[in-house]
């Protein structure tokens, strides 16, 4: 095992500072936007002068409260997110400190459970919904999405009185691409025989991406990369290399990575919205110049490539999983899906078929945020690691 990197502590200490920063911004009149999904482009929010925090829930505690409003069969991510909002607005249980700071929520038309949850959310906080074409390669999808993003920029201008001009968008594109490149650099280190970071450590960094300001996040990731560059690569025993593919793991949900790594595996890559999906495509900066591509179109192109399971067909995701498995030299894939998430649960079959053809073993884990199945998952993970070792 590689020694623990000191720069990881930067991320641990960041929470209180960020809350204070957001409160200060609000005192100065800056608007704060809450989001729940990768399809909402940060570039547009920042270009319109607002700040943003991601409100996806990964904790199990708020779920009981959410089930007073939502069916039990809805996925835990939706229930946890909504439960935190209820606790914040009704003053019961642990309130979400971020929700109390947001001026508006920007939602997106992805899975059915989320879309319906947003309707209930709209009763408590101004909620704006971006429509999303779900057959991304169909003729007209790109134009439609671009027009939706334009409408979104108009909405933000109404809130902040700041126009997301082309110049401002270009500036934010440069900044967001810089974050994406830094994250790719961080993930590249994990291709080493002994990765300098565990999967759990990397996940905690990725979770902070959604709540720190981009400038601070980039500084911390850069510091982490520089520390890795300065540190000699340790020799160590080879542990089974695992890729996690599937649903996001928002802050608070670390159960499955903890189990995998406590049983001797090492997670070297995550195909998820708390992994590669958040940074794998850049907005095309070159064509902004060479073809005078309108920045809003460049943003729409990049975001429509995100291979969420709400898209159909979603071959892009299946191909990406096989490519990542080879690139990071994984011994096996753990397919992680949340109960009630039909998109990722149904797509599991095609992923398994593709991995089988590529000669890569896969273990499917369908779970929630509770600890009740931890023992059973542990036994299955142990047997899987023995099989692929
Ligand atoms: S899994 Fe899909 S719906 Fe969920 S955050 Fe990612 S892109 Fe959005
Ligand atoms: S995990 Fe699945 S069901 Fe839950 S919000 Fe994301 S896409 Fe929707």
Is the distance from the beta carbon of residue 58 to the nearest atom of ligand 2 less than 6 Å?
A: no
CATH number of this structure's domain 18-167, picked from the four choices 3.40.800.20, 3.30.70.1350, 3.40.50.11890, 2.40.50.140: 3.40.50.11890
Both tokens assigned to 109: 């038309």
Both tokens assigned to 286: 């070159």
The ligand minimizing its distance to the Cα of 110 is: 1
Q: Looking at residue 95, what is its pLDDT?
A: 67
In the chain, CATH 3.40.50.11900 sits at 168-388
**Euclidean distance between CA atoms 299 and 288, whole angstroms:** 10
Q: Looking at residue 92, what is its pLDDT?
A: 65
Cα 150 to averaged position of ligand 2 atoms, centre (Å): 26
Number of the ligand 2 atom closest to the C-alpha atom of 309: 7
Q: DSSP character for 72?
A: T
Is the distance from the beta carbon of residue 344 to the nearest atom of ligand 2 less than 6 Å?
A: yes
Number of the ligand 1 atom closest to the C-alpha atom of 306: 7
**Euclidean distance between CA atoms 63 and 80, whole angstroms:** 5
- Calculate mean pLDDT across residues 366-385: 98
Residue 94: pLDDT above 70? no
In the chain, CATH 3.40.50.11890 sits at 18-167
* Beta-carbon-side half-sphere exposure of residue 177 (alpha carbons within 13 Å): 15
Phi/psi of residue 333, each to 5°? -115, 130
Cα 112 to averaged position of ligand 1 atoms, centre (Å): 12
Topology at the third CATH level for domain 168-388: Rossmann fold (3.40.50)
* Beta-carbon-side half-sphere exposure of residue 242 (alpha carbons within 13 Å): 33
Q: How far is CA 333 from the centre of its chain?
A: 19
H/E element, 365: strand 361-367
Cα 157 to averaged position of ligand 2 atoms, centre (Å): 29
Q: Looking at residue 8, what is its pLDDT?
A: 96
Maximum CA extent, the chain: 59
User: For 57, left (φ over 0), alpha (ψ -120 to 50), or beta?
Assistant: beta
Q: DSSP character for 3?
A: P
Cα 344 to averaged position of ligand 2 atoms, centre (Å): 8
- What is the average pLDDT score of the chain? 95
Among 273, 302, 337, 338, name the best residue to mutate to test ligand 1's pocket (greatest count of ligand atoms within 8 A of Cβ).
273
Number of the ligand 2 atom closest to the C-alpha atom of 338: 1
Alpha helices in 240-341 (DSSP H): 255-262, 285-290, 295-304, 315-327
The set of residues, in sequence order, having a beta carbon less than 8 Å from that of 203 and lying 6+ positions away, is 249, 254, 257, 267, 270, 274
Integer distance in angstroms from the first to the last C-alpha of the chain?
17
CB 385 within 8 A of CB 350: no
**Euclidean distance between CA atoms 351 and 35, whole angstroms:** 28
Which residues surround ligand 1 with Cβ inside 6 Å?
37-39, 110-111, 248, 273, 306, 308, 310
Residue 93: pLDDT above 70? no
In the structure, what pLDDT confidence band is assigned to residue 87 with cuts at 50, 70 and 90? confident
Residue 13: pLDDT above 90? no
Q: Looking at residue 16, what is its pLDDT?
A: 84
Number of the ligand 1 atom closest to the C-alpha atom of 273: 6
Angle at which helices 214-230 and 166-189 cross, to 10°: 30
pLDDT in tens, 151-164: 999 999 999 999 99
- Calculate mean pLDDT across residues 217-240: 92
Residue 89: pLDDT above 80? no
Q: How far is CA 356 from the centre of its chain?
A: 27
- Calculate mean pLDDT across residues 117-123: 96
Strand partners, 104: 33
Residue 99: pLDDT above 90? no
- Calculate mean pLDDT across residues 355-381: 98
Both tokens assigned to 53: 């925090």
Q: Residue 112, SS3?
A: helix
pLDDT in tens, 297-324: 999 999 999 999 999 999 999 999 999 9
């Amino acid at each position: 095992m590689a020694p623990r990197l000191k720069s990881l502590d930067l991320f641990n200490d960041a929470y209180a500072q960020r809350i204070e920063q957001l409160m200060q911004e609000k005192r100065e009149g800056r608007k704060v936007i809450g989001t729940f999904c990768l399809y909402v482009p940060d570039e547009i929010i920042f270009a319109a002068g607002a700040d943003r925090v991601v409100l996806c829930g990964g904790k199990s505690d708020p779920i009981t409260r959410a089930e007073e409003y939502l069916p039990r069969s809805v996925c835990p991510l939706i229930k946890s997110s909504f439960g935190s909002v209820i606790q914040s607005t009704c003053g019961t249980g642990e309130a979400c400190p971020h929700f109390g700071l947001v001026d508006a929520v920007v939602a997106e038309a992805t899975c059915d459970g989320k879309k319906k949850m947003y309707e209930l959310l709209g009763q408590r906080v101004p909620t704006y919904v971006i429509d999303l074409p779900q057959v991304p390669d169909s003729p007209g999808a790109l134009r439609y999405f671009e027009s939706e993003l334009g409408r979104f920029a108009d909405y933000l201008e109404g809130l902040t009185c700041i126009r997301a001009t082309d110049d401002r968008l270009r500036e934010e594109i440069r900044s967001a691409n810089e974050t994406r490149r830094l994250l790719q650099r961080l993930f590249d280190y994990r291709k080493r025989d002994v990765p300098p970071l565990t999967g759990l450590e990397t996940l905690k960094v990725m979770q902070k991406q959604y709540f720190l300001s981009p400038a601070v996040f980039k500084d911390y990731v850069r510091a982490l990369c520089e520390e890795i560059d300065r540190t000699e690569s340790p020799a160590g025993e080879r542990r089974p290399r695992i890729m996690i593919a599937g649903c996001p793991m928002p802050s608070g949900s670390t159960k499955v990575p903890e189990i995998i790594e406590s049983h001797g595996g090492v997670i070297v890559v995550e195909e998820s919205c708390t992994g590669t999906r958040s940074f794998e495509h850049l907005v095309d900066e070159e064509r902004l110049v060479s073809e005078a591509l309108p920045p809003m179109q460049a943003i729409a192109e990049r975001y429509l490539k995100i291979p969420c399971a709400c898209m159909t067909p979603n071959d892009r995701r299946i191909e990406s999983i096989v490519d990542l498995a080879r690139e990071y030299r994984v011994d096996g894939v753990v397919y992680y899906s949340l109960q009630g998430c039909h998109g990722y649960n149904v797509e599991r079959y095609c992923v398994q078929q593709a991995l089988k053809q590529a000669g890569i073993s896969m273990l499917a884990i369908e779970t929630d945020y509770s600890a009740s199945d931890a023992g059973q998952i542990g036994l299955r993970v142990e047997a899987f690691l023995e099989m692929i070792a």
